[in-house]
Amino acid sequence: MPFSFEILKTQGRARAGILHTPHGPIPTPVFAPVGTQATVKAVPPRDLHEMGASLILANTYHLHLRPGDELVRAMGGLHSFMAWPGPILTDSGGFQVFSLAEINKIDDQGVTFRSHLDGSQHRLTPERSMEIQEHLGADIIMCFDECPPPTNRLMVERAVARTSAWAARCRETHPDDDLQALFGIVQGGIFADLRADSAAFLRGLDFPGYAVGGLAVGETKSEQYATLDITLPMLPDDKPRYLMGVGEPDDLAQGIARGVDIFDCVIPTRLARHGSAMTHTGRINMRNLAHASDKSPVEAGCTCYCCMNFSRAYIRHLVKAEEILGAYLLSVHNIHFLIQHVNAMRDAILDGDLQMYSDSFLQTYLQTA
């Protein structure tokens, strides 16, 4: 089978494993940089490969609107189109429909919305989401879901009912996981009973992987962690678990300790475009005057291209001058930082030292972040 998941070692609820896909293995836990428009902003695939990225994410909603999923299919699919030979994951488009578009109508069949680009009207249903993602050709694809505000119980109840019904339709439309593995998405906000209902229904559809959606969208960190404590044990032990849209370094440590295998987030490149760098002692604002004549790298000991070649003074100059190279170098650093952080936790699980690593990291990071 082209898709399989093996767990090499566990420590507590944390797992180190390998997710095998048609485009190569993904060592887990893994952080996936986000390439919304079939590009990780400012970072070429060559650099992602050199940094050790083993999975990237692309966005169904955006690529359907521009350049069009039919065009991507005609160009050989995302792997060929964006010259990335490794595994790719596409989301369903649901989150973007509910957060970006002007929605005209939500019903049990799907969503009618207007594009945020030109106002043109579109219809997205579970079946259409599957068709678009099949055209894009990613290795891992996601069920169409509704992502509500996590603390509004009435909205969450409706979203769980729709997400379950839509998941069944996605599964019926895409029953074969040989070429593309379809993951179900557990919704339920911060409410334990709704999470339980959602997880139980999705388990019955026997997906090759399961995602936890609807977090990092308005709840507190303590609510996020408590929800993970409740939800992850409800999912099959032998399937990969994906926490959608989470990428803060402390959240990665907390999620891995609770049994999350896959993460994605736009935060490393977004911070870079605003002149911020991730480090073990928290974020650094590279615009600050303190860096104006600093010959040291962004972070001592970092082996990324940025830190191995350039000073804080130079990075600050680029950021202040709004030179594109500044965003590129900080993006490289931030992505490298998160990949290395997750890799270190994977190694710690394999060595039986995860608690020591996590405690040390969180103590330093949270005291200075």
What kind and span of H or E run contains 90? strand 88-90
Domain that holds residue 320: 267-369
Provide the annotated active-site residues: 91, 264
Residues 37 and 84 in one domain: yes
Residues 71 and 186 in one domain: yes
- For the chain, give the mean pLDDT: 96
Check pLDDT > 90 for residue 85.
yes
Q: Which two tokens stand for residue 315?
A: 């990075």
- 282-338 per-position pLDDT tens digit: 999 999 999 999 999 999 999 999 999 999 999 999 999 999 999 999 999 999 999
Q: What is the pLDDT confidence band of residue 252, given thresholds at 50, 70 and 90?
A: very high
Q: How many domains does the chain have?
A: 2
Percent over 90 (pLDDT), the chain: 93
**Residue 189 and residue 156 in contact, taking contact as beta carbons nearer than 8 Å:** yes
Residues 273 and 219 in one domain: no
What kind and span of H or E run contains 98? helix 94-99
Residues 250 and 352 in one domain: no
Helices marked H in 274-323: 305-309, 312-320
Query: Could you identify the residue written with the tokens 């219809």?
Result: 123
Instruction: Indicate the residue among 211, 234, 265 that finishes a domain.
Output: 265
- 208-224 per-position pLDDT tens digit: 999 999 999 999 999 99
Q: What does the pLDDT average to over 247-262?
A: 98
Out of 96-100, 136-140, 296-300, pick the least confident: 96-100
Residues 93 and 116 in one domain: yes
Check pLDDT > 80 for residue 369.
no
Residues 347 and 205 in one domain: no
CATH number at residue 149: 3.20.20.105
Check pLDDT > 70 for residue 352.
yes
How many whole angstroms separate alpha carbon 276 and alpha carbon 326?
10
Q: What does the pLDDT average to over 192-196?
A: 98
- 165-184 per-position pLDDT tens digit: 999 999 999 999 999 999 99
Helix 192-203 to helix 221-231 angle (10° resolution) is: 40
Residues 261 and 302 in one domain: no
Instruction: Indicate the residue among 265, 290, 319 that finishes a domain.
Output: 265
Residues 15 and 159 in one domain: yes
